Amino acid sequence: MSALRYLFFTNIKNTIKDLKNHPTKLIMIILFIALLGFVLWSGNSSSSPTDITRDIKELYVGVFALFSVLFITTVMTGFSSGASFYSMADINLLFMAPISSKKILIYGLIKQMNNSLLVGFFLFFQYAWLNRTYQIGIYGLLALFIGFGITIFCAQLTSMVIYSFTSNNEKLKKILKTSIIALSFIVLVIISKDALFVSGADKLKAIVNAANSLWVLFIPVIGWIKAVAIGLMSFNFTQTALGLAAVISYIVAFIILVIKANSDFYEDVLQATEVSFSAITAKKEGKISDTPKNVKLGKTGINKGFGPNVFFYKHMLENRRSGLLFIDKTTLVFIAMSVFFTIIFMRDTGNILAIFGFVTYMQIFNSASGRWIRELIQPYVYMIPEPAFKKLVCIAQENMLKIVVEAIILFVAIGLIIKAPIYQILICITARIGFGILFMAGNILIQRVLGSLTNKILISFLYFFILIILSVPGFILGFLLSLKLVMIPIESVILISTFVWNLLSSALITYLCRDILNYAELNNR
């Protein structure tokens, strides 16, 4: 194990040393630590006697739902691409060395546990509202963090095992996939059934009570991890010990299963690692591929549109072939998270404007993608003899339509849940469309100004900074107008003002950045 120990600690040491050669990474780490410290400090200092503390059992349900989604979505990848605990560098260094596969597997497990904990750091940024709403301290947050890391680790291990044993057996793959979906559906029905026989606020209470029943803790893996996390949060160490024993037994059993029964360990790991490496490389280069593996030949040709307008129909055809018309899977996840947040925290407020900030914040993470960005990689849009501004608008049409459809679906659902007035629903739909278009314009600006940069960390930081700068004038304008229009609710005036500002500023940004389609070199293409 000395070679593996040397490799593990040398990687950590070289990562730290490399910071002096990349000051941008060092600055980002310092800013990350400072922001994390500010969030923790503000969470402790923002509590007041007037804060409304909600039932901690609601948080337990949210934890169970989060762990379930993470585990199931990760495990399902095992039926297609699998999961890997290694990088291509590990493959080149370890798999060619005279080291047993058992030791290499143990090295990968330790490395993956480290990566799982790093992914869970985003939970610490939720400390302020968790502390204010549920009186969760640092100890409780650490319990959630530990549960999150265990969930990711177990999901990756399960995904790797599933891929190893089903990659060459389509029948077994279908049986396991159907079983997982069926069991998930059964658990969901059992938890939700009590809510069908009550009305009003009692529905939420019924779901919370059902999801916190004792039998939930016996659900394989997810229930055990919930027992660990909730046991730590509630100082129920007996529950924690039992859940931890079950999780450790599960991990040990799956490791033994891989070691004893899997004769193609090297081949399976290599295949999964290559798939993961290709996906990461493509994402870094902005080349996100969604080409299906099994292609069925049907209707061919676009047969619509003229000039640059053909890109809109091309994108619509690609949407139809991908199985979803306007809303992709990532967007569906964000909509589900927003609806869940509304049901748990905002159901009784009746004010849809209160949740607007949260869903707009979530919108930022889903705005840096789209079919229009992929067109910048291809040469065809540059070859069309039309004005650059017209071409830029045409390739963004599909994304703008997606923004409109997403806003309508999201706020109609949220409005029905909290029984908000129709005028509030319409205002929120309008304002969200404005922010969606502004975020897209921010992407165009980033592509125009920073397209030649390869440092994605710096680009991400500047992207958030630019979006803040672009958004602030709309809020200032709305606040000033609200001082004169005192008969209209201040929130409505501000949101309508942001829509007008976002629309005008987006049009100006798009026009000024039209040269992005005149010179492909601006995008480093």
Answer for the pair 342, 489: CB distance below 8 angstroms, yes or no: no
Predicted confidence band of residue 473 (pLDDT cuts 50, 70, 90) = confident
Question: Each residue of 416-451: pLDDT tens digit?
Answer: 887 778 888 888 899 999 988 888 888 888 777 765
Predicted confidence band of residue 246 (pLDDT cuts 50, 70, 90) = very high
Which is more confident, 130 or 229?
Answer: 229
Burial state string for 326-364 with b = 16 or more CB within 10 A and e = fewer than 16: bbbeebeebbebbbebbbbbbeeeeebbebbebbbebbe
User: What is residue 28's predicted lDDT score, i.e. its pLDDT?
Assistant: 66
User: What is residue 50's predicted lDDT score, i.e. its pLDDT?
Assistant: 44
Which is more confident, 64 or 58?
Answer: 64
* Residue (of 434, 375, 424) closest to 404 by Cα position: 434
Question: Each residue of 306-337: pLDDT tens digit?
Answer: 777 787 778 777 777 665 666 766 777 777 77
User: What is residue 224's predicted lDDT score, i.e. its pLDDT?
Assistant: 92
Alpha-carbon distance 102 to 96, whole Å?
14
Predicted confidence band of residue 243 (pLDDT cuts 50, 70, 90) = very high
Which is more confident, 67 or 159?
Answer: 67
Question: How far lies 452's CA from each of 219, 383, 448, 497, in Å?
Answer: 50, 20, 9, 34
Burial state string for 369-392 with b = 16 or more CB within 10 A and e = fewer than 16: bbbbbbbbeeeebbebeeebbebb
Question: How far lies 104's CA from each of 259, 266, 373, in Å?
Answer: 11, 10, 40
pLDDT greater than 90 at residue 350: no
pLDDT greater than 90 at residue 245: yes
Question: Each residue of 263-322: pLDDT tens digit?
Answer: 555 565 666 666 655 655 555 444 544 444 555 555 666 667 677 778 777 877 777 766
Question: Each residue of 333-349: pLDDT tens digit?
Answer: 777 777 777 766 666 65
Answer for the pair 208, 194: CB distance below 8 angstroms, yes or no: no
pLDDT greater than 90 at residue 249: yes
Question: Each residue of 187-213: pLDDT tens digit?
Answer: 888 888 877 777 656 777 788 888 888
Alpha-carbon distance 457 to 515, whole Å?
25
153-171 average pLDDT score: 78
Question: pTM for this structure?
Answer: 0.63
